[in-house]
Amino acid sequence: MIETPPYLKKGDTIGLICPAGYMDEEKTLACINTLQEWGYKIKAGKTVKSNSENYFSGTDEERLTDLQQMLDDDEVNAVLCARGGYGTGRIIESIRFKKFRKNPKWIMGYSDITVLHSHIYSNYYISTLHSPMAVAFNNGGAGNEYVLSLKDALEGKKLSYTVSGNEFNRKGGEEGELVGGNLAILAHLVGTGSDCKTKGRILFIEDVGEHLYNIDRMMRQLKRAGKLDKLNGLIFGIFTDNKDTERPFGLPLHEILWNIVKEYDYPVCFDFPVSHSDKNYALKVGVRHRFKVNEKKVVLEECD
């Protein structure tokens, strides 16, 4: 049975950290200001103000310590990861979840944060939030529907999204716990202690900056690992900044994906607004959802 962390109320504290890649502190200011306008207090971790000169927001030990302190801090009610990139997988085995399991709190983010979403759900059946991160609040983004979906999620509103249909969609309607995240991370987690459980679930997948052949390879890895066999539904998000090789792969993205899943009978949708772009709805990982696909529209909504 999935455990849902307490939703937030005004005056609660959100911890802000960078458990993976480096992010300029200035790029977090719009996020901090907006969260405060929503009524929350902010506790910024040391990795947000890192003086790192390499890819990461601090050493593995520094990033681990920052995350661990936020997980264990009784005054922190939720944790927002400011950015992804790469690095969470380097520290996941050292994180202690004992106190977090007794007092769960929302863990938020996407991309590399898929490591945390998958690990926490598959091992402890605690819900997390696949959501916009700090950069989404910049350049006027704080008022768009995608960032505001994070606000709705934190306040405990039942999330419901309706989007237009796609010619590659496969019709159907199912229910299941929602799991997923970044394709590259999900593929890399196969066979590890953070491997994503997919049987009977609704799986969502997105990615950024990948060559078409690599998308094909990672999807086929999930297929060979049995991750696509017994789904209740599959949601392909928006794959941004795709690249082809000098000698073309030979198929466009949607056909690559469709050829891998066409043999199954569960509902499938393409281009759902979950991505590395500004079109990135908040999704409650682990929570049971209804998924309906027809010719004209796709509906994804939390079950009552």
Distances (CA, A) of 106 to 23, 74, 150, 182: 21, 13, 11, 19
From the CB of residue 173, how many other CB atoms can be counted at a distance below 10 Å? Answer: 13
Exposed/middle/buried for residue 177 (C-beta within 10 Å: 0-12, 13-18, 19+)? buried
pLDDT digits (tens, 9 = 90+) for 114-164: 999 999 999 999 999 999 999 999 999 999 999 999 999 999 999 999 999
80 and 103 in one domain?
yes
DSSP label at residue 8: P
List alpha helices for the chain, DSSP H.
Answer: 29-37, 60-72, 98-102, 114-124, 145-154, 183-189, 212-224, 253-261
If one compares 191 and 49, the residue with the highest pLDDT of the two is 191
**Residue at 4 is within a domain:** no
- Res 121: pLDDT: 98
Instruction: Single out the residue in 131, 154, 177 at which a domain terminates.
Output: 154
Residue pLDDT, tens place only, 17-44? 999 999 999 999 999 999 999 999 999 9
Which residues are tagged catalytic? 111, 206, 276
Euclidean distance between CA atoms 171 and 168, whole angstroms:
10
CATH number of the domain at 198, please: 3.50.30.60
Do 127 and 237 fall within a single domain? no
User: Given a cut of 90, is residue 51 above it in pLDDT?
Assistant: no
pLDDT 10s digits, 206-217 = 999 999 999 999
Q: 140 and 201: one domain?
A: no
End position of a domain, from candidates 98, 127, 154: 154
Residue range(s) defining the domain that contains residue 223? 160-302
- Predicted pLDDT at 233: 98
Chosen domain end from 154, 185, 216: 154
Asked if residue 5 belongs to a domain, the reply is no
Kindly state whether residue 60 falls inside one of the protein's structural domains: yes
**Tens of pLDDT, residues 163-172:** 999 999 999 9
What pLDDT does residue 1 have?
86
Q: Are residues 177 and 292 in the same domain?
A: yes
Same domain membership, residue 177 and residue 77: no
Q: How many domains does the chain have?
A: 2
Give mean pLDDT, residues 79-106.
98
**Three-class secondary structure assignment of 246-257:** CCCCCCCHHHHH
Domain of 147, CATH number, reads: 3.40.50.10740
Residues 93, 193 contacting (CB under 8 angstroms): yes
